[in-house]
Amino acid sequence: MLKRSDSGILFMLGSALISALNGALTKMLSEDISALEIVFFRNLIGVFIILYALKHTPPKLTGGKIHLLFTRGLFGFMAMILFFYTITVIPLGEAITLNKTSPFFVTILAFFLLREHLSIKTAIALFIGFTGVVLIAKPFGMEFSSAHILGVLGGFFAAAAYTTIKKIKDIYDSRVIVLSFVGVGTLMPALLFLLAPHINTPEFLSFLFPEFILPMSLKVWLLIALMALISTLSQWLLTKAYSAKNLSVVGVISYTNIPFAIGFGYLLGDKFPDSLTFLGIGLIVVGGILVSRK
């Protein structure tokens, strides 16, 4: 029989694998629909799932800070659209690695907003991690792009969403918090689609204002449904993993979604990472592990 910590590792491995698969599905869908449409349909399905769960078992916590609930949803939407967009334009492994900078930003935001202590060890870990980002982005080479900046910005917004959750987790049911995420993540794309014909945007922001084109392909709808299903499964596995005793080990295992993503990306046509990219990925992983053990 597996120990609880061992089962946590297995749950996290499963979550990491499915998370990488989810990224691969996003890359496949991007050939037919925009990143904003992927976000819209994924969250729309999520709204129905969460509403059903709330109807089945009503929330007990009363809430009270609706502005923070909306803020969590907005940050979550920004994190998701930036993450999905970077998946469509840079290699999958790089996109997921840049999104993994969120623990660094969580630490920084917790220091400034929640007054948490920032040790020298943690500061060194942050330096190591962001050095990895620089190596991946290759600012002095020909492969530097705004997509890398947006990928890191996605990690920042994910961190902002996590930090907001810390503020409201004791006053709102977790399902209500998720509903704020998927709800805003449905309404914001709808608003951007309505504004798109009336706005001229810079090229690097055009992904936020694409034309809405209703998918007519059965393949696309099946991929959307599969993404919604495995996203829910990934979140369940993640919750089970973090219920284990040895959280530090489980947290380290979460970084296995990077090699999984590199593998899926390669199968989908991404070029294999060069030595500089691998070094950058390694530094981000090391920095993330050090931050998680602070």
How confident is the model at residue 142, as a pLDDT? 47
How confident is the model at residue 241, as a pLDDT? 73
Rounded to whole angstroms, the Cα distance separating 229 from 72 reads 23
Rounded to whole angstroms, the Cα distance separating 145 from 87 reads 13
Sequence-distant (6+) residues with CB within 8 A of 261 are 20, 23, 24, 92, 93, 95, 96, 97
Burial group, residue 92, by CB count within 10 angstroms (0-12, 13-18, 19+): buried
Q: What DSSP character marks residue 255? A: G
Domain boundaries, the chain: 4-292
Across the chain, which has 294 residues, the per-10-residue mean pLDDT values are: 61 88 94 94 90 88 84 93 94 90 83 77 89 77 71 91 82 86 94 94 89 93 90 74 60 83 93 89 89 68
pTM of the model: 0.86
How confident is the model at residue 12, as a pLDDT? 81
How confident is the model at residue 101, as a pLDDT? 87
Using DSSP's 3-state secondary structure scheme, residue 100 falls into coil
φ, ψ dihedrals at 218, nearest 5°:
-65, -35
